[in-house]
Amino acid sequence: MRISRILGWRDARKLDVAMQMALDEAVFRYTLASGMACARFYGWEEAATTVGYFHRIPLPEATTVRRFTGGGLVEHGEDLTFVLTIPTGSDLARATAVNRYRWIHEKIAKSLKNAGYCVRLSDGEPSAEIGPCFVRPVPWDLLDEPTGRKIGGGAQRRSRGAVIHQGSLRLPNSLRSPKAEWIAEMLGRLAEVPEEMPGPMQDELMQEAERLMRERYGREEWNLGRAGS
């Protein structure tokens, strides 16, 4: 499996958690409309928490936002976060969720190893628990090779045949920047033709994210799980 073309956005801006989640969905909506795969990498200015689409937030806070994807609770702030969107009809979109998850993490692991950071994929047992993401590895999560500590996981959702994958990586400082060199290598492993997302397109996606902020991610109804999908 390999994507034919992908637009990469190594986004150095530090947005609040609601805007980050809105922008991830905006990127996915672009993939649905255009058939173009995209990947956006970004960091955090302050600690924040996201929870999966089917999770219910018992005590909502301004720094806790419900994601578009499934999964449990993810604590952000010292991680490199990314969204990968995969178009309808591609081999990767048609693959099973498990095989797709493994494939994505294999590409990350190989790129990180070439950057001098040894990681491996987990063979842990699946868990039905919805708790902090980094507490319990599931199959094909990323682990620190020497310690076995989980350093990477993700959540996916399929819509109209396309797939959105949101991932979080707890990396050493030298590898955590969205501009880190290993990311360019990873994009080359994901797709035959990696390209940088044009600035005007980034601006358009920001405008779409602002709309999604008003309608979803900035609203209590969405974050409490009472809003429509």
Domain assignment of residue 73, yes or no: yes
Q: Is residue 40 part of a domain?
A: yes
Q: How large a percentage of the chain has pLDDT more than 70?
A: 90
Whether 213 maps to a domain, the answer reads yes
Alpha-carbon span 100 to 92, nearest angstrom:
6
What confidence tens digit (pLDDT) does each residue in 149-206 have? 999 999 999 999 999 999 999 999 999 999 999 999 999 999 999 999 999 999 999 9
Is residue 132 scored above 60 in pLDDT? no
Total tally of structural domains belonging to the chain: 1
Note the pLDDT tens digit of each residue in 62-89.
689 999 999 889 999 999 999 999 999 9
Residue 190 lies in a domain: yes
Select the more confidently predicted residue: 61 or 150. Answer: 150
Evaluate whether residue 108 is within a structural domain. no
Look at residue 126 and tell me whether its pLDDT is greater than 70.
Answer: no
Would you say residue 37 lies in a domain?
A: yes
- The pLDDT of residue 2: 85
What digits encode the pLDDT tens for the residues 33-44? 999 999 999 999
Look at residue 92 and tell me if it is in a domain.
yes
Evaluate if residue 229 carries a pLDDT over 60: no
Per the model's pLDDT, the better-predicted residue between 134 and 197 turns out to be 197
Answer whether residue 52 is part of any domain: yes
Residue 207 has pLDDT above 90, yes or no: yes
CA atoms in the 13 A half-sphere facing the CB of 41: 20
Residue 131 has pLDDT above 70, yes or no: no
Q: Is pLDDT above 90 for 218? A: yes
Strand partners, 162: 159
Distance, CA of 185 to CA of 115 (rounded, Å): 10
CATH code assigned at 8: 3.30.930.10
Following DSSP, what letter does each residue of the chain receive, concatenated?
Answer: --EEEEEEEEE-----HHHHHHHHHHHHHHHHHH--EEEEEE--SS-EEEE-TT---SS--TTEEE-SS-S-BEEESSSEEEEEEE-TTSHHHHS-HHHHHHHHHHHHHHHHHHTT--EEE--PPP----SBTTTS--TT-EEETTT--EEEEEEEEEETTEEEEEEEE---HHHHSTT-HHHHHHHHHHEEEEEEPPHHHHHHHHHHHHHHIIIIITSHHHHTT-S--
Half-sphere exposure of 160 (CA within 13 A, CB side): 10
Domain range for 177 is 3-101+155-223
